[in-house]
Every structure is written in structure tokens, then in C-alpha cells.
């Protein structure tokens, strides 16, 4: 029987400029859907898990289109409540070379911002669940959703369900002070913490020394120290930190490290990939979903980390938010190293 995993957050309408055109050039947009926890839910459904996404969407055709989009990929949408007037929107301009990608949010007063405790029955949702995942984007939406998320974490904890959080700080949604005031208390419920160097600093106040991601500099010891500090301070079972070396908008180095109580009692760094980027949006979510799948299904946490990094490497080659790859494709990359040769 497949593991049941529950995610909770906002799915948004994604409007992307065509190819590498700028916003000011746009005559039309590519229409898609995405959002941190929704992206994780789709990946886990692709990997064969029983994947549930909990949210709130307007009861009109655009809201239904988002629901249908999730269903198409095998995500259970039975616990998406309906109400409110609008779906959150984000506009994406894809960067290239030295020009970075840009995101503009239009998500104020979206349906999920008005979610209430009565909209969600966590006891029913968590029945037979193995895992609950959320990101730092979700509580940044507002007070209502913070209350619902706290109740979800408390209920999952009581039921002995593993809880993971991808810190995912978003400067366009809240300040560092606001983030820390909400995120730090929620850490008491978290078993698996996923972060990068910016998230750990902005959300929890921990800094990776001697590291400059924008210059492609990674000081491994600095990240090891952050992982150890996070684990000790918040008593996490597992800490995973993604290591992105940003040489340009088109080329990144990609790896990660993991620290846990099982196979990685000292920080373990994964294999490193050089990525030519097609679309990096959702890259962190693809890592999170790969790690969740790996920790539930792989023989060791080292294998889980390698699976997560390879899964995320592949996502960077796929347009859209979702990582539309199979377990078999990821495992082939792990074995081959990724020559990119045509499969005939």
C-alpha cells in the first residue's frame, strides 16, 4: 500500500511570458498552475504515492481549472474547500544568462487568505497519513492561514505523522521580522527541515559564513555548521540544505547536504550536477518531494538525498512548476550521471 502524504498551501494561476521575452514585450502569456505544496503533491503522485493537496479555491471556472489540473496528475483534491472570489496569480519573466528571472505576485485577498478552521477537518484528512508537508510561503499569506496551519501541525503531531517544512522565505510577502515571529514557534512541530542559505537566515536568523551564492562560492563547512545548529536548536530529526551555485540565470551548480540521526550523523554532501536551466521555478519543491519520497522508500537517508538532488536536477529542464518525471527516470540519472543522449 502506498504511503499517504498530505500537503497544504496555495495553488496559483501562473502567467509566463513566451520564451525569454520580457514583461514589457508580452502580447500574450502561457497559462499554467503552480505553488509550493501543490508542486510537491504532483511529484509525489507521479512517484506513486497517495498524494493529497489541501487548499481553498473560488467556486468558479478558473478555480475548477486549477482543481482539474491537479487531478490530471493524480493528486487527490477531495479536501480543497471552495469559496472566496479569486485565485492567486503570479507573473513570470524567464531570465537568461546574466538577466535574472522575475516574479510579480497578484495574490492579495485570494480565496485561501480567508480560510477558516471550520473549512478543514484535519482529523479526517490525516486518517492513515504517513507525512504532512508545508512551506514558509503558506503562513506568509496571512493570519487566518497561520491559525489553520498551526492546528494542522498540532493534529499531525498528536497522530504521530512525520512533518516536513521547506522554509521558503519570500521577501515580497513578509519581512524577516514577521517571518521569524511566525516560523520559529512552528519549528517545534517539524521533524524534517528543508532550507537553503537565504531561507535559514531570513526565516530563522542563521547565517552560512564564507558563502556567496551569487558568485558561485560554496563553503561546505559553513553549511555544515548551519545544519548542525538548526538540528540542535530545534531538535529536528533531519535537516537538508540545498546548495545552489548561481553562475548565471542559465547555468547553476546543484547539490545538497543532509544531517540526521540515522545514516548521516555527520553532514553528508550529495553528488553535484551542472545544470543548464530551462525553468528553475519549482526546483526547491522538486527537491522536497524527492526527499520525502526517498525518506519513505529508500534504504538509507543518503540514498534519499541523492534521489532528491537528481529529481530536482531534472525539474530544472522542464517548463512549468511541476516536476513531471518518474522514479525510473530519476534513478537512471543517478546511475548514468546524465549524458543527455537520446533514448532509442
**Residues 58-74: what's their mean pLDDT?**
98
**Residues 103-112: what's their mean pLDDT?**
95
pLDDT score, position 206: 86
CA distance 126 to 73: 21
Q: Does residue 17 belong to any structural domain of this protein? A: yes
pLDDT of 209 above 90:
no
Q: Does residue 70 belong to any structural domain of this protein? A: yes
pLDDT of 340 above 60:
no
Which of left, alpha, beta for 242 (phi over 0: left; psi -120 to 50: alpha)? beta
pLDDT score, position 339: 52
pLDDT score, position 218: 66
Residue that is written with C-alpha cell 526547491 in the block:
284
pLDDT of 33 above 80:
yes
Domain that holds residue 9: 4-335
pLDDT of 70 above 60:
yes
Count of the separate structural domains present in the chain = 1
pLDDT score, position 222: 86
- How many alpha carbons lie under 13 Å from residue 33 in its C-beta half-sphere? 23
Judge contact between 155 and 30, C-beta under 8 A: no
What CATH number does the domain containing 153 carry? 3.40.1190.20
Rounded to the nearest integer, the mean pLDDT of the chain is 93
Q: Does residue 208 belong to any structural domain of this protein? A: yes
pLDDT score, position 336: 84
What's the pLDDT band for 344 if we cut at 50, 70, 90?
very low
Q: Does residue 344 belong to any structural domain of this protein? A: no
pLDDT of 125 above 80:
yes
Q: Does residue 28 belong to any structural domain of this protein? A: yes
User: 3-class secondary structure for the chain?
Assistant: CCCEEEEECCCEEEEEECCCCCHHHCCCEEEEEECHHHHHHHHHHHCCCEEEEEEEECCCHHHHHHHHHHHHCCCECCCEEECCCCCCEEEEECCECCECCEEEEECCCCHHHHCCHHHCCHHHHCCCCCEEEEECCCHHHCHHHHHHHHHHHHHHHHCCCEEEEECCCCCCCCCHHHHHHHHHHHHHHCCEEEECHHHHHHHHCCCCCCCEHHHCECCHHHHHHHHHHHHHHHCCCEEEEEEEEECCCCEEEEEEEEEECCCCCCCEECCCEEEECCCCCCHHHHHHHHHHHHHHHCCCHHHHHHHHHHHHHHHCCCCCCCCCCCHHHHHHHHHHCCCCCCCC
Share of the chain above pLDDT 70, in %: 94
Give per-residue pLDDT as tens, 257-288. Answer: 999 999 999 999 999 999 999 988 999 999 99
**Residues 156-180: what's their mean pLDDT?**
96
Q: Does residue 181 belong to any structural domain of this protein? A: yes
pLDDT of 290 above 60:
yes
Judge contact between 116 and 138, C-beta under 8 A: no
Give per-residue pLDDT as tens, 315-329. Answer: 999 999 999 999 999
pLDDT of 213 above 50:
no
Q: Does residue 341 belong to any structural domain of this protein? A: no
Check residues 341 and 284 and name the one with the higher pLDDT: 284
pLDDT score, position 36: 95
CA distance 117 to 94: 37
Lowest mean pLDDT among 91-95, 196-200, 230-234, 289-293: 196-200
pLDDT score, position 342: 41
Per DSSP, what are the bridge partners of residue 258? 240, 268
Instruction: Sort strands 102-106 and 89-93 into parallel, antiparallel or unpaired.
Output: antiparallel
Q: Does residue 132 belong to any structural domain of this protein? A: yes
The reported pTM is: 0.94
pLDDT of 40 above 70:
yes
Amino acid at each position: 500500500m502506498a504511503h499517504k502524504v498530505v500537503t497544504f498551501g496555495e495553488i496559483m494561476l501562473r502567467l509566463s511570458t513566451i520564451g525569454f521575452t520580457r514583461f514589457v514585450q508580452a502580447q500574450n502569456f502561457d497559462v499554467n498552475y503552480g505553488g509550493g505544496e501543490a508542486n510537491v503533491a504532483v511529484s509525489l503522485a507521479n512517484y506513486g504515492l497517495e498524494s493529497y493537496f489541501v487548499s481553498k479555491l473560488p467556486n468558479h471556472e478558473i478555480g475548477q481549472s486549477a482543481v482539474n489540473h491537479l487531478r490530471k496528475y493524480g493528486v487527490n483534491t477531495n479536501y480543497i474547500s471552495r469559496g472566496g472570489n479569486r485565485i492567486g496569480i503570479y507573473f513570470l519573466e524567464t531570465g537568461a544568462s546574466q538577466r535574472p528571472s522575475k516574479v510579480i505576485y497578484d495574490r492579495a485577498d485570494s480565496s485561501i487568505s480567508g480560510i477558516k478552521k471550520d473549512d478543514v477537518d484535519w482529523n479526517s484528512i490525516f486518517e492513515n497519513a504517513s507525512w504532512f508537508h508545508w512551506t514558509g510561503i503558506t503562513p506568509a499569506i496571512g493570519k487566518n492561514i497561520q491559525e489553520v496551519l498551526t492546528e494542522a501541525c498540532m493534529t499531525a503531531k498528536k497522530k504521530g505523522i512525520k512533518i516536513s517544512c521547506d522554509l521558503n522565505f519570500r521577501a515580497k510577502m513578509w519581512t524577516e521580522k514577521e517571518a521569524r515571529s511566525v516560523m520559529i514557534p512552528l519549528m517545534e512541530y517539524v521533524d524534517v527541515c528543508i532550507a537553503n542559505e537565504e531561507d535559514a537566515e531570513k526565516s530563522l536568523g542563521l547565517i552560512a559564513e564564507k558563502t556567496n551564492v551569487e558568485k558561485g562560492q560554496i563553503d561546505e563547512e559553513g553549511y555544515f555548521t548551519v545544519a548542525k545548529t538548526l538540528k540542535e536548536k530545534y531538535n529536528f530529526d533531519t535537516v537538508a540544505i540545498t546548495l545552489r551555485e548561481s553562475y548565471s540565470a542559465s547555468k547553476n551548480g546543484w547539490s545538497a547536504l543532509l544531517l540526521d540521526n540515522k545514516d548521516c550523523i555527520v553532514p553528508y554532501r550529495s553528488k553535484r550536477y551542472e545544470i543548464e536551466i530551462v525553468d528553475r521555478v519549482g526546483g526547491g519543491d522538486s527537491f522536497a518531494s524527492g526527499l520525502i519520497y526517498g525518506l519513505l522508500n529508500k534504504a538509507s537517508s543518503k540514498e534519499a538525498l541523492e534521489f532528491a538532488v537528481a529529481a530536482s536536477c531534472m525539474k530544472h529542464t522542464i517548463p512549468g512548476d511541476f516536476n513531471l518525471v518518474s522514479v525510473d527516470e530519476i534513478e537512471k540519472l543517478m546511475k548514468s550521471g546524465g549524458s543527455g543522449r537520446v533514448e532509442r
